[in-house]
Amino acid sequence: MNRAEWRAGASLAGVYGLRMLGLFFILPIFAVHAATIEGGADLMLVGLALGAYGLSQGILQIPFGMASDRWGRKPVLYAGLLVFAAGSFLGVAADDIWTAIAARTLQGAGAINSVAMALAADLTREQHRTKVMAMIGASIGLMFALSLVGAPLLYRSIGMGGVFALTGLLSLSAMGVVKYLVPDSPRGLHEEPPPEPGLGRLLDADLLRLNAGIFVLHVVLYAMFVVVPPLIVNAGLELTLHWKLYLPVVLASFVLMVPAILYADRRGRPKPVLLGAVALLLAVEATLAATDAGVAALAALMLGFFVAFNVLEAMLPALVSRMAPARGRGVAIGVYNTTQTLGVFFGGLLGGWVAMHHGASGVFLGCTALAALWLGIAAGMRPVPRAVNGLSSKAL
């Protein structure tokens, strides 16, 4: 990659990462914190609060993408980050479960994911787009890791209101990154109304497989975190000490994901890596469903989960971006991000409902079934052809 592509990838990964850090901060602590606020004893409402931002974001991803195709990426990024910050500051006053749900819904209304990914694609050559998308995907994994380690410590020192306030400040900081560090889109790209990408393009079988995959991945993620933090507490590790489990696990997961990503990119063989990561996810969920794990066993299983999650989070957007039409990229990537964020919503909602009626083992059994379904769907994906400089421009 040239210097401009490195700058585009690093700066957009920073924007994406700052925003996702704010979203992820609540994940490892809210299920335990909710018991201290009005209405927080209802696990279904707790799951709804965790996943509520996914519903509003899912509804607005495509409109935000269309707006960025027409009026440019940066103005839409600013608007989305402001809305997200407003939701975060509302969360400061969330002393009951319904205010928390409203705050998370408003956070999600700042639906910039598709816009940031479309801008990254605008600023990079096709043969290097996989690397840039992987940088953005890796930033999500990194922010997830930081939230797991830092959120319990922040909760102990500044409380949930302070965590929400910090989230809002991070979003405002991301606006500065967009202004001063992210390059502008190439001139002329948005001077005329963009053509529609075509329904047939959006219904390509392999693109639908990838969209289904990101949906399942986030259903599993958010359903798990309705029950995992309380399980760790019950295993003997109090909430403010959860970083002792997460820190070594997430650091090791980043080391272990690198060979898989490099193999997929340099050898042009993402399909076996994708299938291997989904199979690992399936094995972790099945083991969690079948065992009553202590702290050490939970740490080992979470290591497997994070390796699979990080690999998939980096690979899926890179593959999808290659199928997006250049002038309609905001819309096409918006469809992908819509399925992702709807996975967040349904993961939190269904995870809370299943936990309330069937306990943690029921949640893990449901996640096992979803991972098995994904593995079957992904197995039918056509191999990605080799190319001189990365994945073939035909994408799948």
pLDDT tens sequence across 303-347: 999 999 988 987 887 777 666 555 655 566 767 878 888 898 899
Residue 38: what are its φ and ψ, rounded to 5°? -65, 130
Q: Lowest mean pLDDT: which of 3-12, 33-42, 377-386?
A: 377-386
Residue 96: what are its φ and ψ, rounded to 5°? -145, 165
Q: Decide if pLDDT at 389 tops 60.
A: no
Identify the CA nearest to 31 among candidates 256, 384, 355: 355
- Residue linked to tokens 């519903």: 55
Which amino acid would we find at residue 353? W
Contact residues for 372 (Cβ-Cβ < 8 A; gap 6+): 282
Work out the angle between the directed axes of helices 113-122 and 329-379 (0-180°, nearest 10): 100
Work out the angle between the directed axes of helices 43-71 and 205-234 (0-180°, nearest 10): 140
pLDDT tens per residue across span 4-17: 888 888 888 888 88
- Give the pair of three-digit tokens for residue 362: 């029921």
pLDDT band at residue 187 under the 50/70/90 scheme:
low
CB-CB contact of 105 with 289 (8 Å): no
pLDDT band at residue 120 under the 50/70/90 scheme:
confident
* Per-residue pLDDT, 387: 43
* Count, residues in the chain: 396
pLDDT tens per residue across span 305-317: 999 998 898 788 7
The whole-angstrom separation of Cα 218 and Cα 30 is 17
**Under CATH, which number does the domain 3-184+197-391 receive?**
1.20.1250.20
Is pTM beyond 0.75? Reply is: yes
Better pLDDT: 293 or 154 = 154
Which amino acid would we find at residue 290? A
Residue 382: what are its φ and ψ, rounded to 5°? -70, 145
Q: Decide if pLDDT at 394 tops 90.
A: no
Give the other-Cβ count within 10 Å of 195's Cβ: 10
Give the other-Cβ count within 10 Å of 187's Cβ: 7
Q: Decide if pLDDT at 188 tops 70.
A: no
* Per-residue pLDDT, 329: 57
Element (H, E) at 129: helix 129-180
Work out the angle between the directed axes of helices 43-71 and 73-91 (0-180°, nearest 10): 160
What integer is the mean pLDDT of 362-381?
A: 94
pLDDT band at residue 191 under the 50/70/90 scheme:
very low
Three-state SS for 110? coil
Averaged pLDDT score across all residues of the chain: 84
* Per-residue pLDDT, 17: 81
